[in-house]
Amino acid sequence: MANDIGSFFASEPDPSVAAESIRQHIHRFWDPRMRARIVEYFKETGGVELEGPVRAAIQRLAEETAAKA
């Protein structure tokens, strides 16, 4: 699902802006349990199945989660 969201933002020429847009979307619209699961997936696997800006977005979410802990 995260890669599908990333596809929506693929037209953004700046990958950093795309990653931030993806992060914001996931933060706003995903249930906290879903966010926790994808962050855990990222921590366990490095996000191997996540595409470029999506991986960067999830990394940012993981960093936010770690900072709040």
Quick one: pLDDT at residue 34? 97
Confidence of residue 4 (pLDDT cuts 50, 70, 90): very high
Domain of 18 in residue numbering reads as 2-68
Distance set, CA 47 to CA 12, 38, 62, 67 (Å): 21, 9, 11, 19
Confidence of residue 69 (pLDDT cuts 50, 70, 90): confident
- Exposure string of 26-60, with b = 16+ CB inside 10 Å and e = fewer, is beeebeeeebeebbebbeeeebeebeebbbbbbbb
Tell me: the pLDDT tens digits for 5-55?
999 999 999 999 999 999 999 999 999 999 999 999 999 999 999 999 999
